[in-house]
Chains A and B, each alone.
Chain A
Amino acid sequence: MEKIGERTSGVGRITPANTKRTRWTLSVIGVVSWLLLWQFVPRLLGLQARYFPTPVDVYDELARIWEPVLKAIPPTLQAAIVGFLLSLVLSIAIGAILVSNEAILEALMPFIVGVNTVPRIAMTPLIIYWVGFIPVTWIDLWLANYVMALWVAFFPMLIAAIDGFRDIDEDTKNMLEVYGATEWQAFKYVRFKNGLPFIFDGMKIGFILAMVGAVVGEFVSNTFGVGSMAASAISRTSVSRAISIVLVLGFISATVVFVIYVAESRLIFWRDSSVMGGEP
């Protein structure tokens, strides 16, 4: 996303001095006016509160189901976080190995891109089916949610890592060759640092995707968690319940994405970071 300051030069609508305050003020006005619209428009149009709940209705519902929601969050979040961290470690490790070997990378790239293109989420029931076959007593269907988080988040993060590790200009490549750097040295001193911005962009998308995987896993297997709770709102046709769960989950992942963003802007001081992480 473009920084706002860049636009000001030719247009002259705002000066750099008050830009930041203007932006924040406008954002707050935006959120407040959205809430007001949401509160009053359904009533003015005479829509049923049952199907078009206002923010107040949603708040009431959230307060009512707060306890069960608090209980439902940990399993889902745990699956998403474990899947996400595994994806992160695996994507960097496998990405590094693949990049150091051009021939294997070229051979595997059609697979990786292919798997990334098809809707991996369609395999949810299959993964749950397989997990059901594992003959270990303490493992249950909930493991499928962890696998789903990993399966959905891994490939975009792997591609981000590979792109980052490969994004080296000709001069640096020549330098590595002249110094006679080994693959490990090339990775340690050049590729990893070079790939960091890409990896962070992958992480922002990856975490949301891990949540997606965990939630869909719960949709299908109906194991206890936020996803199955949201799905149960359908049979009750309770829109306010569905929306309050959406808000809670949105808040959680927005917070995590923001934390990643802050870590990125601290760690990668040589480049501007963005919350949205480039193209999703």
Chain B
Amino acid sequence: MSFASNPRLARLEQWVRKRIPTVIAGIAFLVLWEGLARVIGSNRIFASLEYTWSSLLEQQDTVFIRITETFTSVVVAFVLASIFGILLGVLIAEIFTFRQMSMPLVIFGYSIPHPVLAPVFVIWFLVFGDVVLLTFTGPSAYLFGDVAANQAQQSFAINGVTTFGAWVGFFPVFISTITGMNSLEERYRHLGQVLGATRWQMVKYFRFYRALPNIASSLKSTAQLSIVGVIVAEFVASGAGIGYQIVLAWKTAELGYMFGVITVIMVGSYVFFQMVVWIIKKLTPPGTVS
């Protein structure tokens, strides 16, 4: 390879190569989409690419504001799920009594089909109001001329949508933390004992590190599930985010807009997922996450 002499170019080449199947799948998907649309030949049953694109452009400012709103919620949900999942996981893995006491509740909570809980979260925050962490003017105010700054006002908030998203994303990271903490090999446990590690040092230097690969890979599931949770909560809590926009498109039977919004969500989720993987890779020791 001519790139072999330059490590940076070689890495770039490797990066591009790894993306080739994804790109091919994406193109094949678009071709399939357009082909199906041509065969069916009705924008009321299956929107063509062109119709989808024009419907999306017509309402681009709304879509942009709503998608920012949704993914701001997803970020909050993801962070909440990760923090609580790891902290509670460490706590429960470390304290045997606590683990046994909470096991039935954990299994029960895990097997509840989560959407049915969304109304509980929504009602609570409906009654007590949201906890706004940070308000900012969304990028749509700068990108679109006709969007006023107050329309683009967005916030990182703890509300029904984000807490529900966090609940949905919580279980993978929680369970993986427990599993990982408990899979410390016998020889390391002995090493810790020989070195006279305290319980806290044992957790900090041995068991948590043992759990890191499990946590890192489970955070990927958490990233996906937070998005699912946020969108489901938006379905129920009418008015919020991109989830409500899809329901609205269904109610007004605007198929092009519906296709467009769903595509935007899919692309957004892909980007968010890749960002999470990138951040995890940067934060953890090399080789932790594949």
Binding site for B on A (CB under 8 A): 1-2, 4, 7, 9-10, 13-14, 22-23, 26-27, 29-31, 33-34, 51, 109-111, 114, 117-119, 121-126, 128-130, 133, 208, 211-212, 214-216, 219-220, 226-227, 230-231, 233-234, 237-239, 242-243, 245-246, 249-250, 253-254, 257, 275-276, 279-280
Contacts and interface: CB of A to CB of B under 8 A. Distances in A.
Given A276-B175, A279-B176, 15 more contacts: A7-B182, A27-B100, A114-B25, A119-B227, A122-B231, A123-B262, A125-B249, A214-B113, A215-B115, A234-B122, A234-B123, A237-B127, A239-B124, A254-B107, A280-B171
B288 to A, nearest CB: 16
B113 A212 contact: yes
A92 B265 CA distance: 30
B205 interface: no
Contacts of A227: 115-116
A30 B221 contact: no
Of the listed residues B224, B262, B269, B273, the one surrounded by the most CB atoms of chain A closer than 10 A to its CB is B262
B88 interface: no
A231 B119 contact: yes
| Dominant secondary structure of chain A at its interface with chain B | helix
Interface string B154-177: 000000000000000001100110
Interface of B: 21-22, 24-25, 28-29, 45, 96-97, 100-105, 107-120, 122-124, 126-128, 171-172, 175-176, 178-179, 182-183, 186, 189-190, 193, 217-218, 221, 224, 227-228, 231-232, 235-237, 243, 246-247, 249-250, 253, 255, 258-259, 262, 265-266, 269-270, 273
Contact of B231 (A121, A126, A238, A279): A121
Contacts of B171: 280
Contacts of B231: 119, 121-122
A273 B264 CA distance: 40
A110 B25 contact: yes
A117 B113 contact: no
Nearest to A7: B182
Contacts of A30: 100-105
A113 to B, nearest CB: 9
Contact of B113 (A231, A234, A253): A253
Given A27-B100, A234-B123, A276-B175, A246 B232 contact: no
Contacts of B227: 119
A13 B94 CA distance: 13
A276 B110 contact: yes
A193 B37 CA distance: 42
A239 B176 CA distance: 31
Contacts of B190: 10
Given A30-B101, A250-B108, A276-B107, A117 B270 contact: yes
A37 B227 CA distance: 32
A219 B118 CA distance: 10
Contacts of A124: 235, 246
Nearest to A123: B262
Nearest to B274: A117
B246 A125 contact: yes
Given A226-B116, A227-B116, A280 B175 contact: yes
Contact of B117 (A22, A114, A246): A246
A64 B258 CA distance: 40
Contacts of B45: 130, 133
Contact of A110 (B24, B122, B265): B24
Contacts of B255: 129
Nearest to B105: A34
Given A208-B111, A280-B172, A125 B218 contact: no
A214 B24 CA distance: 33
B232 A216 contact: yes
